[in-house]
Amino acid sequence: MPIISSASLILASASPRRKELLQSMGLKFKIIHPRVNENYLAGESPRQHVKRLSSDKATVIANKYPETWVLGADTIVVIDGLILGKPKNKKQALGMLRKLSGREHKVFTGFTIAHAAARVYQTKVIQSTVLFKKISPKEMKWYVSCDEPYDKAGGYAVQGKGACFIQSIRGSYTNVIGLPLCEVLEAFKNLKALSFR
């Protein structure tokens, strides 16, 4: 089982998917939702956006809890240079599905590991490419009528009913869920913050 050594861990995120992914590894941690400005900055690339937000989230919490390891993350879905956020209603969810249908899109997650007392601030961006099948109008109508699309970037859940639309994924599967577990655990390991027992 992986253990965060020498200090406790705080997940600086309100995402239930990130919580579930870390719990699946047997990690013990607290959750504190950071208050940061999530607006896009003019001229900001998808990579720059998730990098900045994950860093802001982790830094805000690390400054309040300097002796604790903090993990911040942010995930976005991008197609044709357009960032797809969380759909607010059925019309937006349908629009996203139409755009994604039969095409590839990219999922970017930025994650930051911070420990203020140790002056550790490390940020990485992981990219995955997802191919959707051609989705029929009936399938779209069925999917937007369930609760699943509305709290997910891009309006779908790879680990839920949305899995039936996915033909292939290149890159990290857990990145598409919201946290690239392999890369996150490796980063903690390289920082001597995590050990397996």
Q: Report the distance separating Cα 144 and Cα 62, nearest Å.
A: 38
Please tell me which residue in 74, 80, 147, 151 is annotated as part of the active site: 74
For residues 26 and 196, the answer to whether their CB atoms sit within 8 Å is no
> What Å distances lie between residue 64 and 34, 68, 70, CA to CA?
11, 9, 10
Report helix, strand or coil for 113: strand
For residues 182 and 174, the answer to whether their CB atoms sit within 8 Å is yes
Let me know if 74 is a catalytic residue: yes
Q: Report the distance separating Cα 79 and Cα 3, nearest Å.
A: 37
- Which single residue is written with the structure tokens 């590839």? 104
Residues designated as active site: 74
